[in-house]
Amino acid sequence: MRVHFIVHESFEAPGAYETWAREKGHDVTYSRVYAGEKLPTDTGDIDLLIVMGGPQDPSVTTDECPHFDAKSEQTFIASVIGSGRAVIGVCLGSQLIGEALGAPFAHSPEKEIGKFPVYLTKDGSKSEMFSHFGPMLEVGHWHNDMPGLTGDAVIMAYSEGCPRQIVAYSDRVYGFQCHLELTREVVEELIAHSASELSRFAEYRFVDTVEKLRAHDYSEMNAALFIFLDKLEAHCSPKIEARTW
């Protein structure tokens, strides 16, 4: 399986997504756009595209952030989806998926930074892809916005602070506003980048202190992510095997 990551910033690392891909022995490639790496010119070699997060939102222009070309990414994402490949978006990545499918992103009702529960909706509870989550799972958060909804999008999970935490755009395209990929190493990178901002967010209901962020155990959410990814791989494997041959 060929897994390609679009990484917008060095401190928004793939974390547990990358761990899963490497432990499974998959071919892993990157477009580290913050370092000037380009998007692939051909989607044919990609089986799973994972679009990571970033401090930007889809309305940010190249004048405001020269290394982030939202329109080009949306065109690329739409091409991968159109070819029937699996796509996962994380935070900003989930918003870019929605935009690529014609659904504008929105601001979340609450800022969320830390580890807080998400709850499966009725649709989420019925989905085999998320059955292992249970009715509630504590996951990572680091966001202000949320993905847009197409006419056939299905919300799989929500939190107290955000009504669109996991969105299924199809049986192989998913937007995760939440961050199941967080590890202590990734969190340290985020803290280092956001330390001054975090000190100003004490009044927000769903923002953890730096001490809490460092104390959290992220292994349970990582394990839940690995199971989801295993299920997605199994769901897509007939097409992958057919293309490989």
Q: What per-residue confidence (pLDDT) applies to 244?
A: 44
What is residue 43's predicted lDDT score, i.e. its pLDDT? 86
pLDDT greater than 60 at residue 243: no
- 145: number of CA atoms within 13 Å, CB side? 23
Considering the entire predicted model, what is its pTM? 0.95
Q: Which tokens is 3 given?
A: 């897994």
Query: What is the per-residue pLDDT across 35-86, written as a single tens digit (0 to 9) for each?
Result: 999 999 988 889 999 999 999 999 999 999 999 999 999 999 999 999 999 9
For the record, the structure tokens of 87 come out as 């796509």
Check whether 233 has a pLDDT greater than 70.
yes
Domain 2-244 top-level CATH class: alpha beta
Is residue 239 classed as helix, strand or coil in its secondary structure? Answer: helix
- Give me the residue spans of the domains in the chain: 2-244
- Within 10 A of 50 (CB to CB), how many other CB atoms are there? 26
End-to-end CA separation in angstroms for the chain: 13
pLDDT in tens, 176-201: 999 999 999 999 999 999 988 888 88
pLDDT tens-digit map of 112-137: 999 999 999 999 999 999 999 999 99
What is the CA angle 65-3-119, rounded to 5? 80
Mean pLDDT of the residues in the chain:
95
The confidence score (pLDDT) of residue 245 equals 32
Which residue do the tokens 């990582």 mark? Answer: 222
Pairwise CA distance, residues 134 & 196, whole Å: 36
What's the whole-number mean pLDDT along residues 208-222?
97
